């Protein structure tokens, strides 16, 4: 039954105002609350504490301030300021200097120039302090504009920045070749957004086949790619191809999400591969949380058990 729950259903739930209100009351109420499995907390201090714990166990980290789709210049400026403040706090905390940003927070729904200007406000202090900034990929409507912004700042001369591609999208091979050609760093994911058949593969087998093909392209022609997956078959396909082509563990890294398949995270580290854990945090955590459930409906069982325990 759980396996039949679709991404569509979870997308509808994520957009529900009543559910958002309930989630804001109960989701982060206690450290053991159900959403804490997948979200570090609502504050930067929460995220830094989680990062320290993971780094003590040998993992690398990236921090992600949750939120998306601002519609005013003022809101985009506020989000940009929050990212800049993050840089200072992370620097002071002494944890890994790696963050992820969403361009729809920086003004992508407003215009290209605003987004580039705000991204540069982050990249400049990040470059001075030795940070790497990963531009997250959102729904397919944002793919082209996101890559255009990335290429703009790359052309200006920024090199402390990378981007994400989704194997579910039919266009991603051409996009990967475009980014590889200029030396940009790519994080490869399957994709968590519901997309139409016209732009995205619908069958898991097709998404997996595209993931493997893109992984091989990145390992042979890319610049320190990040292979982001919790699928044991995709992990093994990556390791096997790397061994076959003589691509050492120092030339790429695996990435996984906070709280997802922690058993696999430990196994990857034991096998001698670099693993970076993506740590989401912030008050706008509910849509992200619902996408995680939609990606892997078995996670619903964990949530249900947690809710029952909370109310006992």
Average pLDDT over residues 190-199: 92
Among the listed residues 46, 64, 109, 136, the single catalytic one is: 136
208 counts as catalytic: no
SS (H, E, C) 200-214: ECCCHHHHHHHHHHH
For residue 283, what pLDDT is reported? 85
At 135 the three-state DSSP class reads: strand
Active site residue 187: yes
Q: What is the length of the chain?
A: 312
Q: How far apart are CA 198 and CA 189, in angstroms?
A: 19
The residue from 134, 185, 187, 292 that is catalytic is: 187
196 against 283, higher pLDDT:
196
CB 100 within 8 A of CB 63: yes
| pLDDT band per the 50, 70, 90 thresholds, residue 286 | confident
pLDDT tops 50 at residue 8: yes
pLDDT attached to residue 243: 97
Handedness of CA 260, 54, 219, 103 (dihedral sign): positive
Among residues 64, 18, 74, 60, which one has the least CA distance to residue 38?
64
Q: Is the pLDDT of residue 87 over 80?
A: yes
Across-strand partners of 227?
A: 188, 254
Query: At 310, is the pLDDT very low, low, confident or very high (cuts 50, 70, 90)?
Result: very low
Rounded Cα distance, 158 and 81, in Å: 19
Please list, residue by residue across 108-117, b when 16 or more beta carbons sit within 10 angstroms of its beta carbon and e when fewer do: bbbeeebbbe
pLDDT in tens, 204-221: 999 999 999 999 999 999
Residue 152 φ then ψ, to 5°: -65, -50
Q: What mean pLDDT is reported for the chain? A: 88
Which pLDDT score, from 0 to 100, does residue 306 have?
A: 40
Please compute the mean of the pLDDT values over residues 286-301 and round it to a whole number.
Answer: 66
Structural domains in the chain plus CATH codes: 40-284 (3.20.20.220)
Per-residue pLDDT, 107: 97
Read off the pLDDT of residues 13-54 as tens digits, 9 standing for 90 and up: 555 565 555 555 555 655 556 678 889 998 999 999 999 999
Q: Which two tokens stand for residue 196?
A: 């139409």
pLDDT of residue 250: 97
Q: What is the pLDDT of residue 211?
A: 98
């Amino acid at each position: 039954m759980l396996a039949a729950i679709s991404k569509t259903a979870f997308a509808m739930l994520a957009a529900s105002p009543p559910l958002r209100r309930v989630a804001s009351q109960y989701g982060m109420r206690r450290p053991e609350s159900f959403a804490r499995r997948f979200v570090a907390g609502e504050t930067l201090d929460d995220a830094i504490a989680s990062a320290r714990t993971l780094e003590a166990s040998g993992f690398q980290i990236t921090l992600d301030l949750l939120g998306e789709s601002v519609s005013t210049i003022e809101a985009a400026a506020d989000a940009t300021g929050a990212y800049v403040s993050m840089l200072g706090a992370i620097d002071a905390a002494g944890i890994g200097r790696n963050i992820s940003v969403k361009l729809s927070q920086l003004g992508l729904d407003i215009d290209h120039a605003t987004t580039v200007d705000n991204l540069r406000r982050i990249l400049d202090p990040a470059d001075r302090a030795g940070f790497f900034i990963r531009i997250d990929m959102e729904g397919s409507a944002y793919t082209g504009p996101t890559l255009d912004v990335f290429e703009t700042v790359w052309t200006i001369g920024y090199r402390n920045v990378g981007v994400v591609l989704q194997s579910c999208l039919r266009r991603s091979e051409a996009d990967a070749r475009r980014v590889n050609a200029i030396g940009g760093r790519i994080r490869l994911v399957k994709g968590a957004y519901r997309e139409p058949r016209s732009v995205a593969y619908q069958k898991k087998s097709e998404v997996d086949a595209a993931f493997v093909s893109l992984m091989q392209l990145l390992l042979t022609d890319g610049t320190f790619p990040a292979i982001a997956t919790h699928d044991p078959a995709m992990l093994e396909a990556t390791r096997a191809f790397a061994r076959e082509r003589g691509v050492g563990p120092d030339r790429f890294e695996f990435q996984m999400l906070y709280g997802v398949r922690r058993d696999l995270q430990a196994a990857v580290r034991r096998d001698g591969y670099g693993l970076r854990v993506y740590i989401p945090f912030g008050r706008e955590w509910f849509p992200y949380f619902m996408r995680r459930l939609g990606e892997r409906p078995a996670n619903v069982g964990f949530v249900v058990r947690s809710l029952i325990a909370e109310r006992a």
